[in-house]
């Protein structure tokens, strides 16, 4: 089965690749195993020097790399270049802090000397999504490789050019052959890789269904897994909040990456006292967004990544309306430009009066659709936020310290942001709970996920 790069704006097939054969896949793993034997012995300072160079290349190549992402998955070009530049921050973070994060940590026991060390495991499989085709890969690759592991990447099938570009980038930055390899493979080729005894773990960012599939395969072969899955993040706004500031953040938090982000704010839970004001401001700002060709710098919302994604999103919107929801804005998937009749565009959309059992309340809407709910108290807001099966991120907007603290304590999510939109940062762990996955990327916890946390006790 060919792996195709298809422009979601025009429908043009940009490039097509043949999936690796079983023999080619085996050869790639042989190369990874040979590379691991050498890479694990490379001093941390030398590994760091490579990541410093990769960071420089990312910033230098952001226009050309960003354009590849725009061609393959429709991200507006300004956002695509910003994503590439952000990748440089995670490279520099682990280059600067890797030695300290991996240093043995002393402990006190009955032994003369006790410490905990962090040794690499071997080959790690990364199964990555298309929505942030550079950031998602570098976010996990930097700590995993800095720790002395090697990586094989199975990227999403619709962004093969991004996957190839990442391998070339790391090679140009000085990464030895075999330390990082892109595998152009299909989904059914993942389990044979996990079954290989040299592969010691896997990390996946993607849908809940993809996570379940990988977790089953990894469990069968007793392999360590980190899963970062879907989200339906609540965005709670209380009467004490700066409503205009909250709306400005809400637009970015919902519409970034054409609404295709796991940590996007998806459920806006508004206290009744400010609900009308917030809704009016949000509607005006979403209506004003420029939708169109993502290669134009003025475009703010481009197409969804595939026709299937647009079809699924529209079906969720229509089912919500059929069950009693109200369409306040958008909801029409018609093309925005006659020159792009194929384009997978979906307009900024607002749903209100949402029934509890509807898709907008119970499912992840992966596109530019904001679901608005009205409540009468903070307790009701938190209860509604926690009714979701997901638990990736949450934000609460309030100037009252007690409201902020109650939200921090009671919201069921891997991250809680106060008066700010949820985002990832190299210095702090990132991941979720419940059906949003388990394990952590980034921060100290992220670099330790794929290490042998080894206890060492010595007696004289």
Return d(Cα 201, Cα 125) in angstroms, integer.
6
What tokens does 274 get? Answer: 């400010």
Q: Which of 313, 371, 318, 365 has its CA nearest to residue 344?
A: 313
Give dist(CA 211, CA 263) in Å, integer: 16
H helix or E strand, kind and range, residue 188: none
262 is catalytic: yes
d(CA 91, CA 308): 34
DSSP state of 258: G
* Three-class DSSP category at 216: helix
Is 203 in contact with 127 (CB distance < 8 Å)?
yes
Q: How far apart are CA 328 and CA 241, in angstroms?
A: 23
Give the Cα separation of 236 and 331 in Å (integer).
24
Within 13 Å of residue 65, how many CA atoms lie on the same side as its CB?
26
Residue 400 CA to chain centroid, in angstroms?
31
222's torsion region: left (phi>0), alpha (psi -120 to 50) or beta? left
Positive or negative CA dihedral for 94, 97, 103, 105? negative
SS3 433: strand
* Active-site residue, selected from the candidate residues 72, 83, 208, 228: 228
Q: How far, in Å, are 3, 68, 130, 192, 278 from residue 185 at the CA level?
A: 8, 20, 15, 11, 46
Which strands form 180-182's sheet, in the order they lie side by side? 180-182, 150-154, 123-127, 199-205, 224-228, 437-438
Does residue 162 carry a catalytic annotation?
no
Residue with the two structure tokens 């976010």: 139
The residues, ordered by sequence, that sit 6+ positions from 452 with a Cβ below 8 Å of its Cβ are: 118, 119, 120, 121
Spot the catalytic one: 262, 344, 412, 449.
262
Which residues carry out catalysis? 228, 262
């Amino acid at each position: 089965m060919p792996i195709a790069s298809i422009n979601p704006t025009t429908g043009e097939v940009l490039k097509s690749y043949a999936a690796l054969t079983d023999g080619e896949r085996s050869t790639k793993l042989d190369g990874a195993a040979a590379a691991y034997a050498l890479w694990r012995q490379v001093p941390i300072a030398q590994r760091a020097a490579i990541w410093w160079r990769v960071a420089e290349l990312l910033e230098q190549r952001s226009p050309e790399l960003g354009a590849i992402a725009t061609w393959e998955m429709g991200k507006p070009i300004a956002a695509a270049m910003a994503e590439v530049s952000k990748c440089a921050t995670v490279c520099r973070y682990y280059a600067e802090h890797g030695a300290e994060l991996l240093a043995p940590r002393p402990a006190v026991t009955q032994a003369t000397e006790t410490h905990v060390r962090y040794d690499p495991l071997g080959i790690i499989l990364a199964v990555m999504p298309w929505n942030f085709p550079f950031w998602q890969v570098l976010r996990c690759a930097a700590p995993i490789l800095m720790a002395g592991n090697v990586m094989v990447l199975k990227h999403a099938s619709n962004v093969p050019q991004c996957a190839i570009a990442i391998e070339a980038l790391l090679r140009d930055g000085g990464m030895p052959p075999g330390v990082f390899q892109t595998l152009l493979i299909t989904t059914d080729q993942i389990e044979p890789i996990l079954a290989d005894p040299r592969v010691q773990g896997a990390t996946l960012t993607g849908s809940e269904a993809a996570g379940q599939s990988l977790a089953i395969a990894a469990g069968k072969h007793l392999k360590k897994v980190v899963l970062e899955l879907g989200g339906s993040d609540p965005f709670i706004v209380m009467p004490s909040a700066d409503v205009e500031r909250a709306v400005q953040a809400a637009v970015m938090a919902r519409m970034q990456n054409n609404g295709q982000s796991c940590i996007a704010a998806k459920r806006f839970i508004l206290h009744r006292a400010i609900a009308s004001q917030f809704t009016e401001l949000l509607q005006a700002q979403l209506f004003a967004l420029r939708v169109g060709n993502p290669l134009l710098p003025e475009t703010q919302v481009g197409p969804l990544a595939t026709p299937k994604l647009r079809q699924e999103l529209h079906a969720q919107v229509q089912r919500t309306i059929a069950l009693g929801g109200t369409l306040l804005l958008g909801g029409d998937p018609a093309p925005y430009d006659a020159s792009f009749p194929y384009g997978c565009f979906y307009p900024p959309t607002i749903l209100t009066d949402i029934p509890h059992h509807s898709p907008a309340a119970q499912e992840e809407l992966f596109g530019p659709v904001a679901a608005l709910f009205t409540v009468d108290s903070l307790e009701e807001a938190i209860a509604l936020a926690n009714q979701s099966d997901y638990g990736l991120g949450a934000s609460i907007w309030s100037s009252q310290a007690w409201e902020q603290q109650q939200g921090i304590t009671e919201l069921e999510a891997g991250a809680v942001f106060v008066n700010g939109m949820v985002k990832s940062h190299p210095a702090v762990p990132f991941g979720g709970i419940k059906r949003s996955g388990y394990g952590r990327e980034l921060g100290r916890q992220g670099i330790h996920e794929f290490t042998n946390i080894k206890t060492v006790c010595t007696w004289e």
